[in-house]
Amino acid sequence: MAIQLAQLHEHLLLVGLSSRDRAVEQWQQVGPTIDVATLRDRRAIKLLPLVWRSLAEAGVQDPQLAALEAIANRTRASNELLFEQLRSALEVLDIAGIRTLGLKGVPLVVSYYLDSGLRPMSDADLLVDPTDAARTIAVMREAGWRLAREPRDFVGRAEATFASPDHEGVVDVHWRLDPWVTRNAAGRDPALWAAASPIDVLGHEMLAPAPHDLALHVVLHAYRSEWERVVRWVPDLVLVLRDSGALFDWDVFVQRVETGHLVLPVREALEYVRTTFDAPVPGWVIDRLHAARPSRRERRKHRIASTRQTQRHWLFGQGLEFRTRWARVSVNYARATATRALPAFLRARADVDHLATWPFVVAGRRIRRAGAARADERPPAPSSRSGQLGDGASERL
């Protein structure tokens, strides 16, 4: 299924990623249709710092430019605080001898955006070796970081979310990437670590993926989350492709995509950014990915993964959504790996200890939702007191 972003999001991306003349032309179309100061579309708001930079560099005089700059300034202040919190987490893990590799936002901001005001981040993402997962959680907790949820096991879950001791920052610690080129639930990828290089985070060093691995992770994370829900993947990918130059190893990239059985989603993403945003994707890369012959099972999994669930099914509830999400996570799993990993995935997604309890837990949740809905529909009880109720009494009822 071809990638289709919301029209507003695509227009804003074109403003933020196009040449000056085209950016101005796009803004003249989309600018009058939105009020930046009152915009409530959260995904669109996350694209506005790039819009501001593009318009400012083009010398555009627009009454909304001040509001755009204010969003970039708020993003910068928030990210600077997050970087401070991340540095403290890195210090804790470094003392414990735990290697860390930055994912997504942090290496993207440090190496490609070059301005923390241009790329909003709600959290910082770190990858550790799967064998260090339990120790990482213990070390972070000892240092005062609060675990959002205790992982039941390290097979069913791929990450743990921590809030900083002062509750001002969030760090997600991953020990497995899904989907990824390794095609299994173990999460180990020595090539990813071997190709990584150090970056500086406020004076503290951490590893960052090589450009080809960073780009691949951006694509696969967006695929797992659904292209339209995390539209920041587009500027992330485009900037990596544009700014890496000769450092981007297309041969290794294509090889990892092919051996990882990830041709369908990666080809979809590359064609989209190449066609819509003039991203520098070599023609031979597209040709080679088209020449690949995914199996019938891979095509079926990709078709399921591309399904968009707009509402709960009247009978199966979240069942169809589970199916779609599982297809996105396991799109390249071998059959045996998928069979072994599915129960843990279902337990994690349904938030149950044992699959046998799932029907009862789901039934209980649906009964509670139905009861809450009936309570919302029930008219307020009449007052036992005579006379007219004042405004304050009405509010209390």
Distance CA 98, CA 135 (A): 9
Q: In what order do the strands lie in the sheet with 204-208?
A: 146-147, 159-163, 170-174, 124-127, 101-103, 204-208, 197-201
Distance CA 346, CA 362 (A): 12
Pairing of strands 146-147, 159-163: antiparallel
- Closest Cα partner for 141 from 89, 100, 87? 89
Q: What is the pLDDT of residue 239?
A: 98
- Closest Cα partner for 177 from 95, 258, 262, 92? 262
The band of 380, judged by pLDDT with boundaries at 50, 70 and 90, is low
Mean pLDDT score, 51-74: 96
Q: Which of 234-238, 312-316, 324-328, 346-350 has the lowest mean pLDDT?
A: 312-316
Yes or no: say if 13 and 47 are a contact pair by the CB < 8 Å rule.
yes
Distance CA 181, CA 327 (A): 15
pLDDT by residue (tens digit) across 80-108? 999 999 999 999 999 999 999 999 999 99
Q: Which of 113-127, 243-257, 342-356 has the lowest mean pLDDT?
A: 342-356
Distance CA 103, CA 130 (A): 15
**Percent of the chain surpassing pLDDT 90:** 69
Which of 191 and 343 is assigned the larger pLDDT? Answer: 191
CA quadruple 73, 74, 78, 81: dihedral sign: positive
Pairing of strands 204-208, 159-163: unpaired
pLDDT by residue (tens digit) across 231-247? 999 999 999 999 999 99
Domains and CATH numbers, the chain: 1-63 (no CATH), 77-209 (3.30.460.40), 300-376 (no CATH)
- For 71-128, the DSSP string reads HHHHHHHHHHHHHHHHHHHHHHHHHTT---EEETHHHHIIIII-STTSS--SSEEEE-
Residue 161 zone, left/alpha/beta (φ > 0; ψ -120 to 50; rest): beta
Q: Which of 215-219, 279-283, 316-320 has the lowest mean pLDDT?
A: 316-320
